[in-house]
Amino acid sequence: MTTPRATQSPRKRPAPKIRENLPAPQTPEGLLFHYTPYEAAQWTPFSGRTLADILAAKKTDYVFNGRDNYITGAQIVALVEAYTVRSFSKPAKSAA
């Protein structure tokens, strides 16, 4: 005979808090502003969870304050540029 399983629901995490009126990363005040991964996700091609995983795996530059990971506006701009695909153009022929 086996013992019955507990019928507790799995523990759910609360939704991350996102501050209001955040400066855009491209603006002068946004370049030095510290965003959480979930706040920065709206300007990147990643979700908040994926961006948090990228920061935790140390795949890109970030700011660590001893407890939480943050990303500055300048780092967001660099991250977006790193994942931007440029169109290919043939070099101009020289008249030699």
Q: Which two tokens stand for residue 86?
A: 């440029």
CA gap 17, 3 in Å, rounded: 40
Tell me, letter by letter, the H, E, C secondary structure of the chain. Answer: CCCCCCCCCCCCCCCCCCCCCCCCCCCHHHHCCEECHHHHHHHCCCCHHHHHHHHHCCCCCCEECCCCEEEEHHHHHHHHHHCCCCCCCCCCCCCC
Looking only at the bridges linking them, the beta strands covering 34-35 and 63-64 are unpaired
CA gap 61, 8 in Å, rounded: 40
pTM: 0.74
Question: What residue type is assigned to position 69 of the chain?
Answer: N
Q: How confident is the model at residue 80, as a pLDDT? A: 92
Tens digits of residue pLDDT in 2-52:
776 766 667 787 888 888 999 999 999 999 999 999 999 999 999 999 999
Tens digits of residue pLDDT in 68-96:
999 999 999 999 999 888 888 877 777 66
Mean pLDDT of the 55-75 span: 92
Hey, where are the domains in the chain? 28-82
